[in-house]
């Protein structure tokens, strides 16, 4: 079982012997075990790396309760997902905002479903927009080209966070962005994580992004999908450009690259 640390912390996410088969095809995932602990007052930032088709996005759908595996268990705080009562937000690579609603209306959606009073919804949504750098865009429609790709992803992150989820699932959220916007979004996400302290499970193909953001990196092999490597990222808790330019950061990037090359040769 892959586990972040052997400590007395409670488990927040656990996959036990998870297998996914579609029809008569070979398994997409086979006997996958994965465990993330809950660190109070800190949260976790877990990265999943792996080739396309190895099942990374499927794992996120399990945790979100959007899909059930063919066999095995998916547990949140030791309970099946549907019975756990845990809120999990999800941010996709594709822009997921509702284009017929304004930025403010999109961000408020989670609170609408919780029947929060209108004035309080607006106040909290406005605070969240300021946090993610969208103050002044409240009344624009959440659609391209009215907003840029980076701004639309900020809307998605704000919408996911406003309901204060314990788990935030992110499926290549910055993959479609230009490099400058991507770097800005990485720093913004780091700030948001430090403020709200959720457990984040983040899928990416970018090794530097993985090392910069993550506490722990899990690498998957394909055919069938399974976890084969775990890399602990022993960088300062607060990341910045100085950390990214450090020798140790580059050593970690090379170590992860080596493991990715090894996995590709399997």
pLDDT of residue 3: 47
Sequence-ordered list of residues with C-beta below 8 angstroms from that of 15, at least 6 positions apart, any chain:
32, 33, 34, 35, 59, 62, 72, 73, 74, 75
Rounded CA-CA distance 6/4 in Å is: 7
pTM assigned to the model: 0.90
Provide the 3-class DSSP secondary structure of residue 221.
strand
Ranges of the chain with pLDDT below 50? 1, 3-5
**pLDDT recorded at residue 212:** 96
**Triad 266, 226, 90: Cα angle to 5°:** 130
List C-alpha distances in Å: 164 to 109, 111, 125, 156, 232: 13, 10, 12, 14, 27
What digits encode the pLDDT tens for the residues 29-63? 999 999 998 877 777 899 999 988 899 999 999 99
Distance CA 237, CA 106 (A): 31
């Amino acid at each position: 079982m892959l586990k972040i640390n052997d400590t007395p912390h409670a488990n927040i996410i656990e996959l036990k012997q998870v297998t996914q088969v579609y029809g008569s095809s070979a398994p997409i995932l086979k006997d996958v075990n994965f465990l993330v602990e809950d660190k109070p007052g800190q949260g976790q930032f877990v990265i999943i790396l792996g080739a396309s088709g190895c099942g990374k996005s499927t794992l996120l759908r399990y945790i979100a309760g959007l899909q059930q595996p063919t066999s095995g268990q998916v547990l949140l705080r030791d309970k099946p997902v549907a019975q756990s009562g845990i809120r999990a937000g999800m941010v996709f690579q594709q822009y997921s905002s509702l284009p017929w609603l304004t930025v403010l209306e999109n961000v408020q959606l989670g609170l609408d479903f919780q029947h929060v009073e209108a004035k309080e919804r607006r106040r909290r949504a406005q605070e969240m927009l300021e946090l993610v750098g969208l103050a002044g865009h409240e009344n624009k429609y959440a659609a391209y080209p009215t907003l840029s790709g980076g701004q639309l992803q900020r809307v998605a992150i704000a919408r996911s966070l406003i309901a204060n989820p314990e788990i935030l699932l992110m499926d290549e959220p910055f993959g479609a962005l230009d490099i400058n916007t991507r770097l800005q979004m990485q720093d913004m996400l780091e700030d948001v994580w430090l403020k709200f302290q959720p457990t984040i499970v983040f899928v990416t193909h970018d090794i530097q992004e993985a090392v910069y953001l993550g506490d722990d990196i899990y690498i998957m092999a394909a055919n069938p999908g399974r976890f084969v490597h775990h890399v602990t990222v022993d960088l300062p808790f607060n990341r910045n450009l100085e950390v990214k330019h450090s020798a140790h950061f580059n050593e970690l990037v090379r170590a992860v690259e080596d493991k990715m090359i090894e996995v590709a040769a399997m």
